[in-house]
Structure 1
Amino acid sequence: MAGEAEQLRAYLEYFRDLGVYDLYRRGEPVYELEVFSAAPQLAEVVSAEPSRAVVQKTELPPAAETVSKPTPPSISLRREFSEPEISKLVSFDNLAPLPEVRLSPAEKPAALEAIREDIGDCTRCPLAYAGRHKIVFADGDPNARLMFVGEGPGADEDIQGLPFVGKAGQLLNNMINAMGLKREQVYIANIVKCRPPGNRVPEPVEANTCTQFLLRQVDIVQPEVIVALGSTAATYLLGAKQSLSGLRGRWHGCRGAKLAVTYHPAFLLRDPRQKGEAWKDLQMVMKELGLKPPAKG
């Protein structure tokens, strides 16, 4: 079985190398059954879904005069796919009700580990077949007051299985330290847990498939403040596409936490001039959490 899975993955990677990406279809199958009978000059088309069946009758052209007895009906079956709801943007607040019971600090590590076990060797979206090495679950304190959410793993993260461990991760560590915290005191995750090929932006079907697990992580950690790193994280956490400039500098809500939006560390590496603006966003977070930058010695 494992050999067959590896062979399938190799075939999919080969097609994607050729530029063929539309190999993955989601949505419930819809079967359309066509029954034609020449004798009554009628055709019955039956569209069947799990919850309903519809029969439509349409006139057929008159049968030839040489036909003296009914012609046996011919049947064809077409398989199509309904429009997948998973391609739509929905804010985290509207994806599921907030949990009624808060877990105790001692219960949170086991609850997060249960999510990781539920993910398993995930094959729920195309990223599983796009050259992934490791699933990047999360890192940090399950009882953190502050949570950072990025876009997706890069090459270094894909190898190590931890979020933000490359150059962008080093910058994020510096940002956290400047806030008067250590990396071990915050919780870090991404919108998708597998590296998109070429570090491209995750497709909606990929992001919306994966965020079900991120939502559960947020509900378990229950941070006071979430920082969305970049527009992709903000888009899926808030369920709307808006410019980063329009989202920065003010508070948003997400699963009972206050949410701030700032630049992704990878963007700051490309445009260091924006580091001052990002620091303004982090200062807003520090004020909310009562943090002070470390004393210079």
Structure 2
Amino acid sequence: MPPEQIVALLQWYADMGVDVAIADEPLDRFAESAQAPLASPPMRSVPEADAARRAPAAAAQPRMASPAPTMLTTSPDAVELAAREQARSARTLDELRDLLERFDGCALKATANRLVFADGAPDAKVMFVGEAPGRDEDIQGRPFVGRSGQLLDRMLTAIGLDRTKAYIANVVPWRPPGNRDPTPQETTICRPFIERQIELVAPKVLVCLGARSAQALLGVTDGILKLRGRWLDYDLAGQRIRAIATLHPAYLLRQPVQKRLAWRDFRAIRTAIEQDMS
């Protein structure tokens, strides 16, 4: 491999949070991270035998500065606590967005093109929350702008809404690589931010798009076909607001016959909004 490619690879490892080399003897990183404080831990040195074996190759390469430790090197519990504290400190949606732009506790940020924060009216009566952005959203920096978003727009129009009358966000604001599902840890780390986002918008109706959004926000475990259409309570800063789960637009694109179920849900959403306004 040419030297410049080696340097680029090492820099990529550093950007991803790799701060140690693999040694001959195994180490229990989980035990170490459980004892790690919230502050950034010291960088771990390479074992002497391992360093000696790599010295000739390293001498031929340009010297790179060690990456500054981030929250990615601390325990998951510490990162979750830091996320909760930061989210709680945001007094406005703009402050919350700025905090997320600077937040380094979720590894998805390193692989995504940009933060996908929200779209729509911050003072909307109804808020829609999906799971995570896809490719089109990652490119444009707005939620639900691809095929799923176009279907969602048509569904909103069918009940007299559009993006000027609704607020749209995701539980996880960065696209997972390859559009995979976010891991439970990624969802847990990002959950305080979407919870604070819901508090700041303070909608009258919360709509979870898909099972994973409902499971993250409403604490349910049922599948979406069993869960959809049921009104539940969401605890909003000590107050209960009406929440409902419905089928994700991406699922409806794969299963068009289920649009009849989504239409029932959206009619119920329209009725709830009308009742609140009357």
What TM-score range do you get, normalising by the shorter chain?
0.5 to 0.7
Q: Match of 1:189, SS?
A: strand
TM-score (structure 1 length as normaliser): 0.64
TM-score (structure 2 length as normaliser): 0.68
Among 14, 32, 52, the alignment partner of 1:8 is: 14
In structure 2, relative to structure 1, the CA distance for the partners of 1:151 and 1:182 (3 Å cut) is same
1:243-280 deviations in Å (ceiling 9; x for gaps): 11221222011123211111000110111111111000
Name the CA distance, whole Å, in 1 between partners of 2:97 and 2:192. 12
* Runs of 5+ unmatched residues, structure 2: 1-9, 19-28, 39-73
Which protein is bigger by CA-based radius of gyration? 1
Percent identity over the alignment is: 40
* Alignment partner, residue 71 of structure 1: none
Among 112, 135, 142, the alignment partner of 1:132 is: 112
Q: Letter of the aligned partner of 1:8 in structure 2? A: A
Does residue 206 of structure 1 match 2:186?
yes
Q: CA deviation at 1:118?
A: 1.2
Among 121, 137, 145, the alignment partner of 2:125 is: 145
**Residues 76 and 185 in structure 2, CA contact (< 8 A), matched pair in contact too:** no
Q: Letter of the aligned partner of 1:285 in structure 2? A: I
Q: Letter of the aligned partner of 2:93 in structure 1? A: L
The structure with more strand, counted as a fraction of residues: 1
Among 225, 231, 248, the alignment partner of 1:264 is: 248
* Alignment partner, residue 46 of structure 2: none
Does residue 30 of structure 1 match 2:35?
yes
* Alignment partner, residue 155 of structure 2: 175
Q: CA deviation at 1:199?
A: 1.1
Q: CA deviation at 1:148?
A: 0.3
Name the CA distance, whole Å, in 1 between partners of 2:100 and 2:261. 36
The structure with more helix, counted as a fraction of residues: 2
Among 159, 180, 189, the alignment partner of 2:139 is: 159
Q: CA deviation at 1:26?
A: 10
Does residue 184 of structure 1 match 2:184?
no
Name the CA distance, whole Å, in 2 between partners of 1:10 and 1:286. 45
Q: Match of 1:188, SS?
A: strand
Report matched runs for 1:1-297 at 5 Å. 8-9=14-15, 29-30=34-35, 84=77, 111-129=92-110, 131-254=111-234, 255=236, 256-290=240-274
RMSD, matched Cα? 3.2
Q: Letter of the aligned partner of 2:92 in structure 1? A: A
Name the CA distance, whole Å, in 1 between partners of 2:144 and 2:12. 28
Q: CA deviation at 1:125?
A: 1.6
In structure 2, relative to structure 1, the CA distance for the partners of 1:82 and 1:147 (3 Å cut) is closer
